[in-house]
Chain A
Amino acid sequence: MKIRFSAFLSALAIASTLMAGVSFASDVALTSVGQSPDAMMVKVVLKSLKIVPDYEALMKAEELSGQKVLIAVVGGSSKGLGAAGIDKDQEVARSKALLEKAKADNMKILVMHVGGPGRRGALSDLFISAAVPFADALIIVDKDNTDMDGLFSKLVEGKSIEILSADNVRGTKEPLESVLSSWGVI
């Protein structure tokens, strides 16, 4: 009987987890800052957490519509910028306006860098410097190598922001889940 009861409890726990997992699409907005395809990879990871974000690589400030969280995936791609038909300054301006609006709307902002040390350098660093100061949380893939020069650490200095690290893009699932559940969207 005891066993049955605990089985019932765990079934209940599983069911409630599943139900909680089906979060509303509109809770999470996802964009790229720098137009690398890395944001698409984060979208795939979110899918594995059963979250379908409002994803727009070129999301504008006025397109925020009541979501609770904005995930900004930083990483520059000259190809991506070319494909979008914009230059790096326009991209910085768009991103800053979006992040400022999210802040003003009291949204939580998660900044992610998933491209590893290959997504550093002048172009990417421009976007990193623009976005990271807005972060309420920060997830970095291969943090030891990616933040070798301490750029990320410097940008969040003085704030109580923990930099979460993951081995690879897939591995961001865990920190992503813990950040989003602490913000109540999972």
Chain B
Amino acid sequence: MRSSRGTALTAAALCVAVALICFVSARSFLAMRLPDPVAPAQGFERYNLSHWFPALKGSPGDSDVYIQDSGVPGGTVFIMGGTHPNEPSGYMAAVVYLERAKVTKGRLIVMPFANATAMGHNSPQEASPQYFSLDVDGGTRWFRYGSRATNPVYQWPAPDIYIHAQSGQKLDGGSKSNLNRAYPGVPDDSLTQQVAYGIIQLLNKEKVDLAFDLHEASPEYPVVNAIVAHNRAMELAAMVSMELEMAGIPMRLEPSPVNFRGLSHREWGDHSDALAILMETGNPSQGRLRGKTDAALAVTGKDKAYLKAAALGRLFIPYEGDQTLDLRTARHVTSMKMFMDMLGDVKEGGDVEVEGIPSFDDMMERGIGAFLSPVEDDRFDGK
């Protein structure tokens, strides 16, 4: 019988194999830190958040911000995706505006990946995909599927308890890395608090009239397919909600609770003149009831456990077997368009006109990929 005892040669071979595996997985892991390339529509100028809060210059949280000024006086609308990078319809809706919008009145500001470092890693123990892809005319587009939290490489360790600086509200320590608990932000605290502070500076210095923070939530969470409005934005939101109901795309309207601090829909409205709106669509790939979690789930929302839950009446969205990224993104895109169309009715001189945005039906029929441009991207080569 031949002995399988190791030799210097097998040890060396083993070392080489381990090194190779480490190299490949590290490369794949670090590829997540490379930004998703985008193809802004004509007229957008690129800035960074540090333009409004210079302390962020050169930091990993210095997220890209794009501004398109029509040159015609009007209002200013701010669209923000990527607060929570495991909620893809939020940043995809921002990207659709970034790549399609032709602003003919007023100004449009788009910040597609708000928490830049949260885009660059996955939440542990969630088995989330690293990225997903969409077919576009003449190629494939890759987008990262990130985490709810700021990358711990840049903000670590979490405190035992997170105390919201302005209110003293106490939350679990992990919430300190949640951008949507950080507003109005703190200029000399952790990265998340600084990014939040920068966003408030932007809203004020650019005199934003209407601001969106785009999210997704688990289908079993009560605030889903929903608009959460600051009290100053409530009348406009009611108008839009009725309009959406007529269009067959109902979004339930919820007031922003006054006693829950740190959230965009509360603090943006309290610390700037913007009418603050947060919107949620239903995303099975972040839900607690989901099965296999992969890129397909993020894009199709197909999951048999959710079908069961729907039959039991446990979900807050209509669910008939899937909940596509196209549908979720189209909800955000269409809702925002209605808000912009009616902004001038509630805010004198606040009109913002944007052309080139695909309709809900167009996005459902052709998929959102049909409205994105091809880009050079070699981050996830071989995949």
Residues of A participating in the B interface, judged by any CB pair closer than 8 Å:
35, 37, 40-41, 43-45, 77, 79-80, 82-83, 85, 118, 168-170
- The interface-forming segment of B92-100, B162-170, B193-201, B255-263 is B255-263
A-B contact pairs, 14 of them (CB 8 A): A35-B255, A37-B229, A37-B234, A37-B255, A41-B241, A41-B242, A44-B238, A44-B239, A79-B254, A80-B254, A83-B256, A83-B257, A85-B258, A169-B242
Instruction: Check: B45 CB closer than 8 A to any chain A CB.
Output: no
Other than A37-B238, A83-B258, give 9 A-B pairs with Cβ distance below 8 A.
Answer: A40-B235, A40-B237, A41-B241, A41-B253, A43-B235, A44-B235, A80-B254, A82-B257, A168-B246
The residue among A83, A118, A168 with the most chain B CB atoms within 10 A of its own CB is A83
Q: Could you say which residues of chain A place their CB within 8 Å of the CB of B229? A: 37
Q: Could you say which residues of chain B place their CB within 8 Å of the CB of A45? A: 242
Which 8 A-B pairs have CB atoms at the shortest separation, nearest pair first?
A40-B238, A37-B253, A41-B238, A83-B257, A83-B255, A169-B242, A44-B238, A44-B239
Instruction: Tell me how far the C-beta of A68 lies from the nearest C-beta in chain B, rounded to whole angstroms.
Output: 23
Q: Which of B204-235 contact A (CB under 8 A)?
A: 223, 229, 234-235
Q: How far is the CA of A168 from the CA of B245 in the complex (A)?
A: 8
Instruction: Tell me how far the C-beta of B356 lies from the nearest C-beta in chain A, rounded to whole angstroms.
Output: 28
Instruction: Check: B252 CB closer than 8 A to any chain A CB.
Output: yes
The residue among A43, A79, A82, A170 with the most chain B CB atoms within 10 A of its own CB is A79
Instruction: Tell me how far the C-beta of A71 lies from the nearest C-beta in chain B, rounded to whole angstroms.
Output: 15
Q: How far is the CA of A106 from the CA of B257 in the complex (A)?
A: 35
Residues of B participating in the A interface, judged by any CB pair closer than 8 Å:
223, 229, 234-235, 237-239, 241-243, 245-246, 252-259
Instruction: Tell me how far the C-beta of A39 lies from the nearest C-beta in chain B, rounded to whole angstroms.
Output: 9
- Out of A44, A77, A168, name the residue touching B255 (CB < 8 Å): A77
Instruction: Tell me how far the C-beta of A182 lies from the nearest C-beta in chain B, rounded to whole angstroms.
Output: 24
- Out of A79, A118, A168, name the residue touching B242 (CB < 8 Å): A168
Q: A168-B245, A168-B246, A170-B246 in contact; A79/B238 too (CB < 8 A)? A: no
The residue among B229, B235, B238, B241 with the most chain A CB atoms within 10 A of its own CB is B238
Instruction: Tell me how far the C-beta of A135 lies from the nearest C-beta in chain B, rounded to whole angstroms.
Output: 23
Structural contact, B257 and A79, CB atoms closer than 8 A: yes
Q: How far is the CA of A45 from the CA of B241 in the complex (A)?
A: 12
Structural contact, A43 and B238, CB atoms closer than 8 A: yes
Instruction: Tell me how far the C-beta of B147 lies from the nearest C-beta in chain A, rounded to whole angstroms.
Output: 27
Instruction: Tell me how far the C-beta of A158 lies from the nearest C-beta in chain B, rounded to whole angstroms.
Output: 34
Structural contact, B234 and A40, CB atoms closer than 8 A: yes
Q: How far is the CA of A77 from the CA of B234 in the complex (A)?
A: 15
